[in-house]
Amino acid sequence: MTYPTDRPATWFVTGASRGLGLDLVRRLLQRGDNVAATTRSTERLTTALRASDTSRLLALPVELADEDQVAHAVTSTQERFGGLDVVVNNAGYGYLGAVEEVSDADARAMFDVQVFGAWNVLRAVLPGFREARSGHVINVSSVLGLLSFPGWSLYTAGKFALEAITESLAAEVADHGIRVNLVEPGYMRTDFLRPVSLGLPGSTSDAYPAIREMVDQHLRMPGTQLGDPAKAAAAIITIATTGEAPLHQLLGSDSLSLATGRLQSLADDVEASRALATTTDIPATDRPTT
């Protein structure tokens, strides 16, 4: 796909009323692009954008876990703007708690947004992208889609799943003229670690004092994070307009450092597993010949 230069591009952005999503929508409107922005509260979104020109904004109240609502939102976008160029699956929220503290309801709610919600969007937009032989999917993951820490199991499980879906998707649609990217930010100065965007288990165990300390540290973190969401939004626009980003695009020096450490850790594990790994093959002399 060539990013359109002869007309405003049309973007579909989920999770648009706070944080990175809001900064992205604001910058796109400033550029003069068309933006369909999904949110659970269109009032919160439009209030946040009261200083912006919203004539090219389509604010859509959508529960991403509802496949019919998502499909209707995509159809409404195409009808309003005459097409669709870039989809950004950005919706998500944090969750901090030990594995055994995560309830079934909390786990399913997280996957509804981060995994099934994104999947609903993809199913809705891909037929049109294939027909047009163009389109760009940008899935907002996290450096915690590449590694995990104690207390982050639920959030990272969702991001790991999104990474797997995206890697498969990129290979599946490459021959259809569709581009795909993952964005993997580190910590950003958003509401991600505030109560409005952070889930905590309803009951906790005294068996995990280190996780309680970690949670307390993160609740005190807002305002000190390294990443600038406005600059991350600008980076996403660069990814779309240039088409030059790798499949995995890290954002933030903290993200880069953590990912580099993960590569070394994984390389060490591969080497340490080599001797036992080779013992499980069927001997060459017992394999069928052709």
**Is residue 263 one of the residues assigned to a domain?**
no
Residue tagged 């989920």 (tokens): 14
**Is residue 281 one of the residues assigned to a domain?**
no
In which region does residue 150 sit, left (phi positive, over 0), alpha (psi from -120 to 50) or beta (all else)?
beta
The residue segments making up the domain with residue 195 are 10-253
**Is residue 177 one of the residues assigned to a domain?**
yes
Six-digit token pair at 62? 């959508």
Q: Is 155 a catalytic residue?
A: yes
CATH number at residue 72: 3.40.50.720
pLDDT above 60 for 1? no
Q: Looking at the 3D structure of the chain, how many domains does it have? A: 1
**Is residue 3 one of the residues assigned to a domain?**
no
pLDDT score recorded for residue 135: 97
Q: How many CB atoms lie within 10 A of CB 108?
A: 11
> Which one of 17, 93, 95, 141 is the catalytic residue?
141
- Over residues 65-118, the pLDDT tens digits come to 999 999 999 999 999 999 999 999 999 999 999 999 999 999 999 999 999 999
**Is residue 192 one of the residues assigned to a domain?**
yes
* 255 — pLDDT class (breaks 50, 70, 90): very high
> Which one of 155, 187, 208, 255 is the catalytic residue?
155
- Over residues 163-214, the pLDDT tens digits come to 999 999 999 999 999 999 999 999 988 877 788 889 999 999 999 999 999 9
**Is residue 63 one of the residues assigned to a domain?**
yes
pLDDT score recorded for residue 153: 97
**Is residue 228 one of the residues assigned to a domain?**
yes
- Contact in structure between 170 and 247 (CB atoms under 8 Å): yes
Cα separation, 166 vs 34, in Å, equals 25
Q: Is 17 a catalytic residue?
A: no
User: In the predicted model, what is the mean pLDDT of the chain?
Assistant: 95
Cα separation, 145 vs 148, in Å, equals 8
pLDDT score recorded for residue 191: 77
**Is residue 284 one of the residues assigned to a domain?**
no
pLDDT above 80 for 152? yes
> Which one of 159, 187, 208, 255 is the catalytic residue?
159
Backbone torsions φ then ψ of 212, nearest 5 degrees: -60, -40
